[in-house]
Amino acid sequence: MGQQHVAGHVTVALVEDHQVVVDGVRSWFGPPSPVMLVAQGPTIESVRGTPADVLLLDLNLNGTMIVDRVGELCAGGQRVVVFSEHEEPETVRAVLDAGASAFIGKGRATRESCVETILAVAADRPSVTPPMAQAIATDESPHRPQLSEKERLALLYWFQSMSKASVAARMGVKERTVRQYIDRARVKYAAAGRPAPTKEKLLICAIQDGLISPGEVDVYTSLAARPGES
């Protein structure tokens, strides 16, 4: 699924099998909202090929959980925002680890919060919703965020003085996807109470947590040795 750009709007394709939810979301994205619904259907296949900036995805379609499809969609370069009533921390962590840009809980969603999250994701900015914050905070090691292997690799290559474009080429993904991996790592550290807004700070945290060893990178490693950093 590519991206469709409409002047002044962020475009969304919705995968949802309950018409009442479709009607509600459509009302949220009507004028004067900066978000426009350009496609909707009850299955992933029903909207496949429709260009949209963001895919808003329900996890339970026709009685089947599709958590395992999230990684496939994200690997294809799609910005995925999960929109689900299944807000269990383990489910939220699973879709975030698979590459979802954000998770919106149906039970707590409002027009304002949904639009805000979609605008942030479309602009490749990190967004932490309440279910995401809870999932990260209740992780077994909240002080040490659990990064996916792709997030870790993106950080490693970036720390090796590679540009994000070069990282993308090495990983075989789009540059925007690399930015998402890095931003998700920052979101996880911020939610764990260890904000890492700069490249240097992120490297320090990654080395302290054993996600990356000093020998794997040839720049900034002296910063990681400074005592008292967290």
Is pLDDT at 165 greater than 80 in this prediction?
yes
Q: What type of residue is 100?
A: A
Is the distance from CB of 19 to CB of 2 less than 8 angstroms? no
Q: In this predicted structure, what is the pLDDT of residue 223?
A: 39
Residue found by looking up tokens 């619904």 in the block: 37
Q: Which amino acid is at 18?
A: H
Beta-bridge mates of residue 56: 14, 81
Q: How much is the pLDDT for 189?
A: 86
Band of residue 182 on the pLDDT scale cut at 50, 70, 90: very high
Q: Kindly report the pTM of this predicted structure.
A: 0.68
* pLDDT greater than 50 at residue 215: yes
Res 105 pLDDT > 50? yes
Beta bridge partners of 11: 36
Of 127, 135, 142, nearest to 209 (Cα)? 142
* Candidate ranges 22-26, 28-32, 210-214; pick with highest mean pLDDT: 22-26
What is the CA angle 221-227-228, rounded to 5? 120
Predicted confidence at residue 143, as pLDDT, reads 66
Q: Mean pLDDT over residues 178-189, rounded?
A: 88
Query: What DSSP letter does each residue of the chain carry, written as one string?
Result: -----BTTBEEEEEE-S-HHHHHHHHHHTSTT-SEEEEEEESSHHHHTT---SEEEE-SEETTEE-HHHHHHHHHTT--EEEEES---HHHHHHHHHTT-SEEEETTT--HHHHHHHHHHHHTT-----HHHHHHHHTSSSTTS----HHHHHHHHHHHTT--HHHHHHHHTS-HHHHHHHHHHHHHHHHHTT----SHHHHHHHHHHTTSS-GGG-SSSHHHHT-TT--
Which residue, 190, 14, 19, 21, is CA-closest to 109? 21
Displacement of CA 78 from its chain's centroid (Å)? 10
